[in-house]
Each structure stands twice: as structure tokens, then as C-alpha cells.
A and B are shown apart, each in its own frame.
Chain A
Amino acid sequence: MARMGSDGLTWTLETLDAYVENPKALVSGTRMNYRGMADAQARGALIAYLREWSDKPQNIPESEPTARKTDPDLDPAVLGIVGDAEYGEYLSSECSTCHQRDGSDQGIPSITQWPEEDFVVAMHAYKKKLRPHPVMQMMAGRLSNDEIAALAAYFATLE
């Protein structure tokens, strides 16, 4: 997480909320077991608790829990796209310049064998510039929803 701060990610109530809900949406290389807190009310409570420890507390927006932003705000239809793994294999050739196919991590995180949904969420978080990394924002920025699904399908199966 410290890595993110230096990258220009500012922790706002919105990004913190998104992170607590699903760490994969925002922060790379999280090897943590904590898989996120789906319940918006529980998140609100956690953030309210953390806020008590803040020296500069901000107001928590008065919105319905369900209207709260759960970044990257993916339409279930987008998450439901069945990826074309063959197209994904071609698209993945662009990724393997940096991400090693055998899953080893020597300075750039491994992206093989992720659950497809986590992969899709992470890519959309870069695409929407919620995750701050410039290389990945650019890589994801030009991929369509179908292309992201295709990549997720391919990488999920890569041995």
C-alpha cells in the first residue's frame, strides 16, 4: 500500500471504500488473504472507525449504502462476458514483455491463474484510472470489455 502512495494514489473516502470492499480493485501485488468486505454497511462502519483516528476527518457522504461507489462500478453484464481465450492468447503476447508466462515475479507482479473476475476487476480499475500505475493505465485503457474478458480467460488457464 505504501507503494501506491508514492504512485500518486490519494486515499479518499471513495478509494478507501473501494479498497476495503475489494483490495484487488486498487492495489497490486497484494498477497494478502483478506478478500474484501462486500457488505457496504460493514465498510461504512470500518471507515467510520478509522476516521476516528484521523487528524483531518472528512464527512462521510450521506448516501444510501447501495448508491455508494463500489469501484470500478462494473455492470454485471461486463463481468458476465465469456472471454475468447484464443483472442486472449494473442492479446497476452503484449503482456508477456513484462509479466512472465511462468508466473515468476522479479519486480513485476504475476498475473497467471487469477480467478477471472479478480482479473477483470483489476483491469477495469486501471482502465478507469482508479489504480494509479501509468503503464497499466495505458495498457488497460485501450482494451475493450471483450478484450479484457478474453485476457482473463486466457491467463486464468495458463499453467
Chain B
Amino acid sequence: MILNRRRFIGTGIATGALLSAPTVWGQTKAKVVVIGGGAGGATVARYLAKDGGDALDVTLIEANPIYTTCFFSNLYLGGFREFESLQHGYDKVAAGGVTVVTDMATAVDRAARTVTLAGGQVLPYDCLVLSPGIDFKDGSVPGWSVEAAEIMPHAYKAGPQTQLLKKMVEEMPQGGTFAMVAPPNPYRCPPGPYERISMVAHLLKQKNPTAKILVLDPKDKYSKQALFEEGWAKHYDGMVSWVGPEFGGGAVEVRPDTMEVIVDGEAQKVDVCNVIPGQMAGKIAALAGVTDDSGWAPVHPDSMKAKADGNVYVLGDSSAQGDMPKSAFSANSQAKVAAMSIRGELTGSRVFPAKYSNTCWSLIAPEDGVKVGASYEPTPEKIASVESFISATGEDAALRKATYEESLGWYAGITADIFG
């Protein structure tokens, strides 16, 4: 069942009764409310409804009727995917027994165990799962604000921002400059900004070969660095300049009205500026009071349960769990552990040891794919990395192609796992 705001109100008495007086409906069904229908939230909702359907009443609250994946959005920028191929609806999630509500959650009352929606409804829960992704930190890049994103896009929440950035790159003047202000740690998808640089370079190489790419980075090293540097030298020789903190990459200011970036006190005019600001847990996590000073929500490593509240779980990017990178793969992996834990608590089903894993593929050029991955297990302090692997520099073309093809298989697999 998918309910948008109007239908939600329109279903009238029946829905009202369900929400305010759950006992009328046969007492025993425990209520799980999930906020955020992305990699973590849609997965946990589907797994709970699939395995606990008779005993659990699962509601998913998602602001948008269609989800656009950030993962593979860089491949769209590079011209390797259609935008529509990134988009997924919730029909199959609903068909799997989840009540999908298209609305924004605006408040959580943990004492009363209720969630309030923008439309005014108040939903009671026995267990709440938060998987709201990220929001941007105010003031992280001086001169930039969310309002400036129409001029200097972040494209770090996929959708119209991604399309805007692609249009800007395609319309860049010949020989122009593309600048990226890269984010400080921690942020979603550690190799994401650098895969994006590769894809922009690929596009420019064909349409605008004298263009320049400038990466301004507050970090002195980054994910898969050796692999990206090797790939940029091989495929896009001389096009990409990376400026680390030593040369001012960490103290960048932007001026959207004049399209300038100020590095080390010196202003430079650029043609496209992709600002990826510092990040924090999706705002609803802070409103629910489960985040700490870091801006992320600490969780127990063996279950993904919030340290602040035993009735609340936090998944994916918003959680502070230890060694796992903020990725769709991680969020999906954490969702399965959480689903198992929630079922165990609410229905008494068997509880198994938590196991987590992650793999992140990046495309550097056509058929030149690389990957990094690890497996993880809970320790008392954190989710800790157990074993890891990374592609090597100097691998042959056949292996890089196989790695790319594998990433296509992964995208098909994970989106089927998340959305049905």
C-alpha cells in the first residue's frame, strides 16, 4: 500500500483508527516505523515485512515518490548510464507488505514513541528505524550555502542536482576550468568525489579536450588514491590538478555570484564549481536526539541499535559505527543485521551473529574498473574491519573490464535487494 499525503488523510476513519488505537486491529502486531526509503531504510523494511509479516506492521516514510541512486550517478555524468536507470519506485516494496507513506517526517517523540509527519499525522511505533542519509553542514565551505547549490551544485544527493552538474559540464566553454571542492572526512562514498573527477575528465576529453580540472581537497590522502592517480595519468594526462591541504586545498572559500574560488587568499575564476560540503547525519536523526557532538548517531556494533535509545535503530550514512565506509553497500548490509535483531526482539525469532561487508567499485575510464572492499565484525567498541582487499595498480585491461562488469552485476543485485 502506498499512501501519499492526500490519500493518507483521505483513507479517513480506517487509517485513523489504525494509527491512534492499534489494539482495535488484533492487538499483537508490533509496529515498526522506518524513516528514509534509501539503501538502508527500504532494505530493512522489505526484510522485516518478508520475514516477520505476520507479526509485524511495517511502515516506511519517504519524502520522495521516486528514489534516485547516488551510486552510479557518476556513471551518468560520464555518459555511461541513462538518468532513468538510476531511478527506483516503491511499488514492489509496497507489494511486499510494507505500508509506504510519501511524506516528510518532521519530529520524533521518543518518550511517547511517536513520529510526526509534515502532513500532521502522528504514527506510534514500538520500534523506530532511522536511515535518513546525510545533510550538509552549514558553513563548511565559506561562501557556499544550500541556496547556492543552483549555481555551485553539490550533486551529492542524486536527482536534479546531478542533472544540473552534467548540463554545466557539457556547456563549459572550450578550455574552461571545472573545480571541485572535495569534502572533509567522514562523508558518504569515500571514492565518490574521485570517481566523479574521472567521469568528468572522460566527458571533457571527448567534448572539450583542452579543459582543466582542479580538485581542492582538505584531506592529505583519499580512498584508492594510487589507483586514481595512475588512471588519470594514463587516460587524462595533464588534465587533472589535485591541490591538497599543504597548498591551500583545506582553506577554500567560494563566491557563487562571481564564480570564483579563493585558494590561499588568491581568487581564481572557474566555469563549473562542484562544492561537496562537510556532512552530518540526516536532520531527523538530530531532531530525534540520537546524534552526538560529531553530528552522527552512535550505535551498538552488534545490532545497529542507537546508543541513546533501545527502541531506535540507526542505519547507513547517519550512523557512527566504526570502520565501515558510508556506502549503499554498507547501509544495505547493516539493514540485514538490524532486521534480524528487530525480529528477534519483537517476535522472538532466532538471533544470529552480526556479519557485515562492503565493496565499492569505481569506474576510472571506459572498462577500467577498480574496487575496494572489506568484511567487518562487531567488537565491544565498534564495527571493526576483519579482512580487506583493493585492486592493484598495473592490473591488465581484461581484469579491469571484468571488475567493471562485476559492478554492473552488483548494481542490478543491490537495487533488486533494496527495492524488490
Contacts and interface: CB of A to CB of B under 8 A. Distances in A.
B333 interface: yes
The bracket for how many chain B residues form the interface is 35 or more
B399 A6 contact: yes
Interface in A93-120: 93-94, 96-102, 104-108
A107 B405 contact: yes
A135 B352 CA distance: 23
A39 B329 CA distance: 43
A142 interface: yes
B333 A108 contact: no
Contacts of B398: 2-3, 6
B257 interface: no
Contacts, number: 91
A129 to B, nearest CB: 12
A90 B407 contact: no
A139 interface: yes
Interface string B386-420: 11110000001011001001111110111011000
Interface in B335-366: 336, 339-340, 350, 352, 355, 357, 359
A105 B329 CA distance: 19
B416 A101 contact: yes
B332 interface: yes
B232 interface: no
B396 A97 contact: no
Contact of A134 (B389, B396, B407, B416): B389
Given A91-B355, A107-B410, A135-B371, A100 B336 contact: no
A108 B47 contact: no
A86 interface: yes
A44 interface: no
B140 interface: no
Contact of A97 (B339, B352, B413): B413
A38 interface: no
B409 A106 contact: yes
Contacts of B333: 94, 97
B151 interface: no
Given A93-B47, A100-B416, A142-B387, A106 B375 contact: no
B373 interface: yes
A135 B409 CA distance: 13
B357 A139 contact: yes
A138 B399 contact: no
Interface of A: 2-3, 6-7, 86-87, 90-91, 93-94, 96-102, 104-108, 134-135, 137-139, 141-142
26 contacts: A6-B399, A6-B402, A91-B355, A93-B339, A93-B340, A94-B357, A96-B413, A97-B329, A97-B333, A98-B359, A98-B414, A100-B413, A100-B416, A101-B416, A106-B409, A107-B405, A107-B406, A108-B409, A134-B373, A134-B389, A135-B371, A138-B357, A138-B374, A138-B387, A142-B377, A142-B387
Given A97-B410, A106-B413, A139-B357, 5 more contacts: A87-B352, A100-B416, A106-B412, A108-B409, A135-B371
Interface of B: 47, 329, 332-333, 336, 339-340, 350, 352, 355, 357, 359, 371, 373-375, 377, 386-389, 396, 398-399, 402, 405-410, 412-414, 416-417
